[in-house]
Structure 1
Amino acid sequence: MIITNKFNLPAPFVSLAQRDYIFEPNEYRVTSLLKGVRETILERRHHEKIERDVSDMVWLLFGTAVHAVLERHEEGEHELKEERIKIPFGNYILSGQFDLYNDKTKIVTDYKTASVWKIIFGDFEDWRRQLLIYCYMLRKIGFDAQGAQVVAFLKDHSKRDAKIKADYPPYPVQTVKFTFTDADFAECEEWLTAKFKEIAAAEKLPDDELPICTPEERFNSGDKFAVLRKGRKTALRVLDSMEEAKQWMSENGGDEIQVRPGEDKKCIDYCAACEFCNYYREKVVNGNGGSKAV
């Protein structure tokens, strides 16, 4: 990856960002599997050509710095810290590194930086999946991992909002806990099997024929349906489904419904391989998925 420094940020930022990861043949990290297969494959194929500026990596670097501080913690008698596990999975190697495992409590702990909105919305499925895989891997090498927790550092926490909003996280650090069952581990193995099957098929395809990331993987905000009236510049009402829009128009009036495609936020702001993706070029940059009236 090519790291630039357009705003002349201090050298330590650049040094931290330049810590490169070498992709090993047939080895996939857990964090890569949590992405869309297209994004994962494109990142591997074009890693040496992908360019990112240090300014776009500030929160990633902040998270790395938090981990660096916590790494200084001495391991307890029953603890494993910052261990990378590699296990065979079919023709592949599954690689994962957890922050802390306590063999007495049977709990994996992972430290993350996050927005308060993740806590407010309870949007933890990606965290749960990642930690479930770590526990699955630990069990494969002889540990009886049974649950996990994320200690989340909320980078945008507001003391003022914590005092006046009932649903706002009261503190800038939150712990989110997960308990896993035998059924969860069986489902995890099925998920991994399906994911590696997808990867095996995708590795044989050219870039433009890779499976398009799902709306969830693209962080798509969802289509909106605007009820319009001729001669009026703004919508009478914007709703979340065509059915709701039709119902509202039948009760309140209007001349047409405009479909406003949701934004692919991952593609726009967070995908390092987007410039090598034909979906991004055609749908996001050129706007071929623009609004249309029905």
Structure 2
Amino acid sequence: MTTYTNHHNLPAALVAAVMNDPYRGGGDISVTKLIDAPQRRVLGMRHAGEISVDVSERIWALLGQAVHNILERAGTDTLVEQRLFAEVEGWQLSGQFDRLHLGDKTLSDYKVTSTYKATGDEQWTRQLNILRWLAHQNGITVETLEIVAIFRDWRQSEATRNPSYPQQAVAVIPIPLWTLEFTEAFIRGRVTAHQMAQGGLETPCTDDERWYSGTVYALMKNGGKRALKVAEDVADLGTPTDDQHIVTRPGVYRRCESHCDVAAFCSQWQTHLARLGGANAPATDTE
């Protein structure tokens, strides 16, 4: 069981709300775990009693749960928060959708998220298509998928200034439909990967699963603090003039650094830290 800390002295009511998470996935693996890294899931299982999380890191998830509670007010022509099950490769897969409109057969998932995801997210596409497949396995037809994104960091001033910025604090994002055949093949592949990891096969996280930012190069003016130009390929910056220089900004594994509960138990991450002397490498000048 996860141990919770309260290093920022948040109110007791918030602490209790975070600790009393009612989520119960059921089955051998949930949709959210299925699309996540097998290594993270296995480490979480092995070290379940050693994981410590500060309640401040769970506030946005708590607000997401509040949105789901509000969905219970949906009309009578909808199915709300229904959990579905299906057997895949000997495992029971479970998944719960937020809302299914019975009239137009639209499955909606509500996300409290950041504006930088206003154009969508590949994990959302995977999640909703798997939920659609689960619905099909349970005799429920789904014809349209959508994310209802509630932007926690939305600003009216930025919307006024920037036409490409979300113009409202809520956006409906269409999700592309996979074929049911493609979805099933994807699910079977993921289940097999998790089964192999759980059986002891070493399964390092991919760069995508680690939210790797990628190394970039910045053209700087000597004595300046802001980049004149940034590129993924140093050749794109050309040859610096006498009053310029190029700085290498090493890529960082953002999830491993700040968003992974099992990083302390992960040999992949600990090996990376050891190579860097215990911290991410600083930006360096490039000749």
> Do the two structures share a fold, i.e. TM-score over 0.5?
yes
Deviations 1:143-176 (A, max 9, x none): 1112211111110111111112111111101111
CA–CA separation in structure 2 for the residues paired with 1:203 and 1:106: 36
For residue 32 of structure 1, what is the amino acid of its counterpart?
A: K
Kindly tell me: are residues 254 and 285 of structure 1, through their superposed partners in 2, closer, same or farther at Cα, counting changes over 3 Å?
farther
Per-residue deviation, 1:255: 11
Counterpart position of 2:123: 126
**Secondary structure of the structure 1 residue equivalent to 2:147:** strand
Deviations 1:239-294 (A, max 9, x none): 2025435xx13x86899977543111111111111111112222147626746768
CA–CA separation in structure 1 for the residues paired with 2:159 and 2:219: 37
RMSD across aligned positions (CA): 2.9
Alignment of 1:161-172 (within 5 A): 161-172=158-169
Alignment of 1:151-190 (within 5 A): 151-180=148-177, 184-190=179-185
Counterpart position of 1:197: 192
**Secondary structure of the structure 2 residue equivalent to 1:156:** coil
Counterpart position of 1:62: 63
Deviations 1:29-82 (A, max 9, x none): 1111221111122122222221101111111111112222222x14413x2111
Match of 2:257 among 268, 280, 286: 268
**Secondary structure of the structure 1 residue equivalent to 2:76:** coil
For the Cα contact (< 8 Å) 1:268–1:284, is it kept in 2?
no
Match of 2:138 among 123, 137, 141: 141
CA–CA separation in structure 2 for the residues paired with 1:252 and 1:177: 47
CA–CA separation in structure 2 for the residues paired with 1:277 and 1:254: 44
For the Cα contact (< 8 Å) 1:112–1:150, is it kept in 2?
yes
Deviations 1:98-130 (A, max 9, x none): 1111232111111110111111xx242111111
Kindly tell me: are residues 103 and 285 of structure 1, through their superposed partners in 2, closer, same or farther at Cα, counting changes over 3 Å?
farther
**Secondary structure of the structure 2 residue equivalent to 1:275:** helix
Q: In the comparison of the two structures, how many residue pairs are matched?
A: 280
For residue 269 of structure 1, what is the amino acid of its counterpart?
A: S
Q: Where does the alignment leave 5 or more consecutive residues of structure 2 unmatched?
A: none
Q: Normalised by the size of structure 2, how large is the TM-score?
A: 0.85
| Aligned: 1:103 with 2:102 | yes
Counterpart position of 2:80: 81
Q: Report the more deviating stretch, 40-49 or 157-166.
A: 40-49
**Secondary structure of the structure 1 residue equivalent to 2:135:** helix
CA–CA separation in structure 1 for the residues paired with 2:163 and 2:136: 40
Kindly tell me: are residues 232 and 56 of structure 1, through their superposed partners in 2, closer, same or farther at Cα, counting changes over 3 Å?
same
Match of 2:232 among 222, 227, 240: 240
Counterpart position of 1:211: 203
Identical-pair percentage: 27
Q: Where does the alignment leave 5 or more consecutive residues of structure 1 unmatched?
A: none
Counterpart position of 1:114: 113
For residue 117 of structure 1, what is the amino acid of its counterpart?
A: Y
Counterpart position of 1:277: 266
For residue 218 of structure 1, what is the amino acid of its counterpart?
A: R
For residue 104 of structure 2, what is the amino acid of its counterpart?
A: T
Counterpart position of 1:222: 214
**Secondary structure of the structure 2 residue equivalent to 1:13:** helix
**Secondary structure of the structure 1 residue equivalent to 2:172:** strand
CA–CA separation in structure 2 for the residues paired with 1:287 and 1:89: 41
Counterpart position of 2:147: 150
